[in-house]
Structure 1
């Protein structure tokens, strides 16, 4: 019985590693903000949780009605759906530019999240790495 319990725990632990998720709080690459990632329906999404400086406004948003809103609480990881082991695809909003990019988010190691974004139909891509806040 003891061997069975140990084997079962080992399988569960390995399964947790293989299917880790990014739910939690992450610091963006330049350290200027944190993003809270949570489950949203069958996928995940992320919202600005804090900023290093006084929260600014979403002044570059293409929708004039949204330009006066605070960046705190805005959704920046949008409609991310599973697309493989530890990979999610959807969209990312960059408030500094007011642009939405297609995105792939992947766990790149313990406490490391890689965000790859591309201009839709433009072929111009970039990436950054976020770190998990414990």
Structure 2
């Protein structure tokens, strides 16, 4: 009788483990996305002057930002160039379409919906910053 009880117990144990593996696989993905969105600059941001939207996305190990074309929603001119992760910020270059110049830059997420963007000229002697607001 003991052998009969062990054998049926082994079969149900195996079946739920297999069945449990499938439903548990998608669970980490939804949990990971909100956390990433909260402290990640990935996404679309509206500039402080509301001159345009910038889409920040992965480009290799770094981040890049592109002006979003309002008509096609496609990536336009590159604005953030090769932003490398550095503790709680990203450092690289920023292109100012108004002046046609490129500056040293840092970006840092200040809250889930705000991003501080700074550009510096002359080795950091002159710096200016903006706060961008998350669109999505």
Q: Same fold (TM over 0.5)?
A: yes
Corresponding position of 2:4: none
Structure 1 unaligned blocks of 5 or more: 1-8, 55-71
After superposition, give the CA deviation of every residue in 1:106-128 in whole Å (9 maximum; x if it has no partner): 00112000001101426111100
**TM-score normalized by structure 1?**
0.68
- Which structure 2 residues correspond to residues 46-125 of structure 1 after superposition, within 5 A? 46-50=65-69, 73-85=76-88, 87-121=89-123, 123-125=125-127
Q: Is residue 39–residue 111 contact of structure 2 (8 Å, CA) maintained in 1?
A: no
Cα RMSD between the aligned structures?
2.8
1:34 to 53, 62, 74: 53
What SS is found at the alignment partner of 2:125?
A: coil
After superposition, give the CA deviation of every residue in 1:82-126 in whole Å (9 maximum; x if it has no partner): 0012x1000100000111110010001120000011014261111
Structure 1 runs, 4 residues or longer, greater than 3 Å off: none
What SS is found at the alignment partner of 2:87?
A: coil
**TM-score normalized by structure 2?**
0.67
Q: Whose helix fraction is larger, Structure 1's or Structure 2's?
A: 2
Structure 2 unaligned blocks of 5 or more: 1-27
Q: Is residue 115–residue 128 contact of structure 1 (8 Å, CA) maintained in 2?
A: yes
